[in-house]
C-alpha cells in the first residue's frame, strides 16, 4: 500500500502492514514522535525517513546527531546544570561571545548572541520554558553558505547582511553564487547520509581560515537567492521519494 497524504494515513492507519509506504511529511503535531515509533515498529516505510524528519525539525536533535561537523564546543543545554558545565568548558577554552539557538524557531528568529556564557546563564536560568536549546561559540568572521541538494542537482550561494550577523535574506540580506569545494560537498553528503536525508537544504559556516562547519540542515527551506524555482525543486523531491518508495 502506498499512502501519499496525511488525511489518508489517518483514515487507514490501523490497516497498515509491514512493507506499506507513507510518502510525505508526517503531520501528527504533538503525536508525531509517538506515531513515528509506532509506524517504524510495525515495519511501515517512511519517505523522507523518520530520522530526517525528526532532525529537520529540531536544532537540539541536530546538535546531538551532527556535532562532529559543527563548530567545536557546540553544546546541548537541557537544564540549568548543563549551563553550569558550559561555563567551565567555555572558560577553559577561552571562548568569549556565544550564540544560542532556540529549538524549533526558524528563519533566524530563535538565534541570540551573548557577550559571554555568563550572560547566557544569568538570563536563561530565569525561564524553564526556554529549554532545551543549543549554545555555540560565536564566529566573528565567516561566510554563510546555503547549499541545495536534490538528486543530481546541487547549487550553493552565500547569504550576506552587513547589518545583522544572522545573514537572513528575508530581512534585508543579499546573496551571490558560491563555488563549493570537493571537501565541502563531501561534508554535505556525509551529513545527509548520517541523517538519512533524501535531499536537503544545508547551511555551512565557512571561516576565514578555510574551515567549514555545519550550521543547520532541513528537508525544506527558503530559496531566496537560489536559481532554481520552488515548483521545479518540489518536483525533483517528489520524484526522488517516489523512486525510493518503489525500489
Asked if residue 213 and residue 172 are part of one domain, the reply reads: yes
Which pLDDT does position 140 carry in this prediction?
A: 87
Task: Kindly report the average pLDDT of the chain as a whole number.
Answer: 93
Q: For residue range 41-74, what is the model confidence (pLDDT) as tens digits?
A: 999 999 999 999 999 999 999 999 999 999 999 9
- The answer to whether residues 119 and 165 belong to one domain is no
User: pLDDT tens digit string along 94-139?
Assistant: 999 999 999 877 767 788 999 999 999 998 877 766 899 999 999 9
* 167-212 tens-digit pLDDT: 665 665 788 999 999 999 999 999 999 999 999 999 999 999 999 9
For residues 164 and 237, membership in a common domain is answered with yes
Q: What is the pLDDT of residue 174?
A: 81
Between 182 and 141, the higher pLDDT residue: 182
| Percentages (nearest 5) of helix, strand, coil residues in the chain | 40, 25, 35
Domain shared by 104 and 119, yes or no: yes
User: How far, in Å, are 55, 118, 137, 222, 223 from residue 90 at the CA level?
Assistant: 26, 10, 8, 33, 35
Domain count for the chain: 3
Residue 175: per-residue pLDDT: 84
Q: Do 101 and 147 have their domain in common?
A: no
Angle at which helix 59-66 crosses helix 182-195, to 10 degrees, equals 110
Strand order from edge to edge, sheet including 111-114 = 75-77, 133-137, 98-102, 111-114
Distance CA 221, CA 4 (A): 21
In a domain, 166, yes or no: yes
- For 202, phi then psi, to 5°, come to -120, 135
Question: In a 10 Å sphere around its CB, with 0-12 CB exposed, 13-18 middle and 19+ buried, how is residue 156 labelled?
Answer: buried
Please give the grid coordinates belonging to residue 155. 547549487
pLDDT band at 5 (very low <50, low <70, confident <90, very high): very high
Q: How far apart are CA 124 and CA 214, in angstroms?
A: 25
21 inside domain: yes
Q: Which distant-in-sequence residues (6+ apart) come within 8 Å of 169 by Cβ?
A: 159, 161, 175, 222, 224, 225
Query: What is the span of the domain harbouring residue 106?
Result: 72-137
Amino acid at each position: 500500500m502506498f499512502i501519499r497524504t496525511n488525511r489518508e494515513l489517518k483514515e487507514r492507519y490501523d490497516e497498515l502492514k509491514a512493507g506499506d509506504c507513507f510518502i510525505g511529511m508526517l503531520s501528527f503535531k504533538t503525536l508525531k514522535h509517538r506515531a513515528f515509533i509506532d509506524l517504524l515498529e510495525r515495519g511501515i516505510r517512511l519517505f523522507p525517513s523518520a530520522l530526517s524528519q525528526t532532525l529537520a525539525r529540531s536544532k537540539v536533535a541536530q546538535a546531538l546527531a551532527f556535532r562532529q561537523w559543527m563548530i567545536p564546543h557546540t553544546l546541548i543545554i537541557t537544564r540549568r546544570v548543563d549551563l553550569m558545565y558550559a561555563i567551565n568548558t567555555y572558560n577553559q577554552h577561552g571562548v568569549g561571545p556565544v550564540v544560542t539557538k532556540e529549538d524549533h524557531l526558524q528563519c533566524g528568529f530563535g538565534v541570540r548572541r551573548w557577550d559571554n556564557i555568563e550572560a547566557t546563564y544569568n538570563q536563561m536560568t530565569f525561564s524553564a520554558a526556554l529549554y532545551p536549546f543549543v549554545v555555540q561559540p560565536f564566529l566573528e568572521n565567516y561566510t554563510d553558505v546555503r547549499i541545495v541538494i536534490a538528486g543530481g542537482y546541487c547549487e550553493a550561494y552565500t547569504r550576506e547582511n552587513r547589518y545583522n550577523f544572522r545573514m537572513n535574506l528575508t530581512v534585508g540580506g543579499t546573496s551571490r553564487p558560491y563555488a563549493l569545494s570537493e571537501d565541502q560537498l563531501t561534508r554535505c553528503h556525509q551529513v545527509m547520509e548520517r541523517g538519512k536525508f533524501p535531499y536537503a537544504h544545508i547551511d555551512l559556516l565557512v571561516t576565514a581560515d578555510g574551515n567549514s562547519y555545519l550550521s543547520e540542515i532541513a528537508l525544506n527551506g527558503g530559496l531566496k537567492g537560489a536559481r532554481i524555482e520552488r515548483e521545479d525543486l518540489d518536483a525533483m523531491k517528489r520524484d526522488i521519494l517516489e523512486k525510493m518508495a518503489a525500489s
